[in-house]
Amino acid sequence: AYRADEEYDYLFKVVLIGDAGVGKTNLLSRFARDEFSFETKSTIGVEFATRTIHVDGKLIKAQIWDTAGQHDLMCLRRYRAITSAYYRGSVGALVVFDLSRRVTFENTARWLQELRSHTDPNIVVMLVGNKADLRHIRAVSVEEAQAFARKEKAFFTETSALESINVADAFTGVLTQIYHVVG
Ligand code: GDP
């Protein structure tokens, strides 16, 4: 049966967090519009994109929030109101790091801390190691990332927004899990 675009059974807000430059915006543009950009963005602010997927015959609309700008949320920390608004109502999170830059993996602990201090304890969290295409300069092993995710009660996956590997699975994995928690 025909259903209009605006129709959906569930609306889930999901936030993207992680250091600047890890590929959050490109993961989102790959998922929402199948686009990739080699440029780093220059605008500062908060944006969101939506995509509707099917899970168990239900239409789930994902509203995915991304911070635009080089400095990302770290820079906005002092503006508590913005940080709170960013996290408000979110039921899922993708905590992204760059597999080729170890410091971005180490910083995910801080991102998780900030996430947990603003959200419900039941929030579904996916740790995402992005830029899996940079195999030759990999700086974090699967085992280490998996162990950390387990400790944090988060899921873990590796993606490449550039090569379009696992990107849709990362998002649909979170959405499916949220559906099972709330649905
Ligand atoms: P954000 O600051 O976390 O939103 O990161 P961006 O999405 O703006 O990406 C930062 C840079 O990394 C850009 O130059 C992208 O082209 C590049 N990038 C993003 N994803 C990938 C990926 O999967 N592989 C590679 N090699 N580069 C990527």
User: Does the pLDDT of residue 2 top 80, yes or no?
Assistant: no
**167 conformational bin, left if phi > 0, alpha if psi -120 to 50, beta if neither:** alpha
Ligand 1 pocket mutation, candidates 40, 48, 138, criterion most atoms within 8 A of CB:
40
Give the pLDDT of residue 82: 74
Convert the pLDDT of each residue in 40-70 to its tens digit. Answer: 765 566 788 999 999 999 999 999 999 765 4
Report the alpha-carbon distance of residue 121 to residue 89 in Å, rounded: 12
Is residue 42 exposed (0-12), middle (13-18) or buried (19+ Cβ within 10 Å)?
exposed
pLDDT of 86 > 90? The answer is: no
> For residue 49, what are the β-bridge partners?
64
pLDDT at 76 over 70: no
pLDDT cut 70: percent of the chain above it: 86
pTM exceeding 0.90: yes
Nearest CA to ligand 1 atom 11: 21
pLDDT mean over 103-118: 95
- What local confidence, expressed as pLDDT, does residue 5 receive? 59
Q: What pLDDT is stored for residue 29 in this prediction?
A: 93
pLDDT for 117 equals: 93
Which ligand 1 atom sits nearest the alpha carbon of residue 39? 14
Work out the average pLDDT over 106-116.
94
Closest to 174 (Cα-Cα) out of 84, 60, 21: 60
133 ligand 1 Cβ < 6 A: yes
Ligand 1, closest atom to CA 68?
Answer: 4
C-alpha 22 – ligand 1 centre gap (Å): 6
Q: Is 70 in the pocket of ligand 1 (CB under 6 A)?
A: no
Higher pLDDT, 159 or 20: 159
Indicate which residue's Cα is closest to atom 24 of ligand 1. Answer: 131
* Structure confidence at residue 48 (pLDDT): 85
Is the pLDDT reported for residue 81 higher than 80?
no
74 lines ligand 1 (CB under 6 A): no
pLDDT at 83 over 90: no
Query: Is residue 84 pLDDT above 80, yes or no?
Result: yes
Atom 25 of ligand 1: nearest residue by CA position = 131
Residue of minimum CA distance from atom 9 in ligand 1: 23
d(CA 72, CA 160): 20
